[in-house]
Structure 1
């Protein structure tokens, strides 16, 4: 008997809502302050995602910003003893270091290639000697 009562309750719960109930639900959902607030937050996030990168590109590519940043970095460099001569000297030192490093790397690669060739030759001689 109890099983049948539970089944009837389930069947009652499964009934489709009436049109009046559906309309009431729609009104509640559309006019809820929470939904309106969430919509406003989504619009705000969309605006940030779209307009922030555009505004950054527009601002940082403007001549005004370029002039101000150039002045700032010139003053900043002078405060810490970085004159154009020291910058030039530093770039020359970096170029010299880079050239030395690349030469060293080439020498190491060449030595590695020679070692591999010598090993290959010794293996070839061994195979010829033993008939492998």
Structure 2
């Protein structure tokens, strides 16, 4: 058995080993979502796993750690095989997402060296939120 550190009981959703740092970016195929609370992470992961065809759901947290969603167990766990994401990877993921293409949004790569990771992450979270309205 594995150690569940926290759960949202009314949704039957669990966090394995550690919780992600908020906010997060949720990656499901070519589409991106954002969540600013643990309840929103749970609701989005559950909804995506039941309404879309078999797509891998990953969560990228504010500390650039990647988490993997196990839909059959409704559990979010850290992906220990992946190193932390870089600023460039996050920007490229957003720019290549369906969200950005549909709404004509683009985050310039020229900001990679001059902006801190947290600033870029927050900017992209806001763009994702805007694209999903």
Shorter-chain TM-score bucket reads: under 0.3
* Structure of greater relative contact order (alpha carbons < 8 Å, 6+ residues apart): 2
Larger helix proportion, structure 1 or 2?
1
TM-score scaled by length of structure 1: 0.19
If you compute each CA radius of gyration, which structure gives the higher value, 1 or 2?
1
Larger strand proportion, structure 1 or 2?
2
TM-score scaled by length of structure 2: 0.19
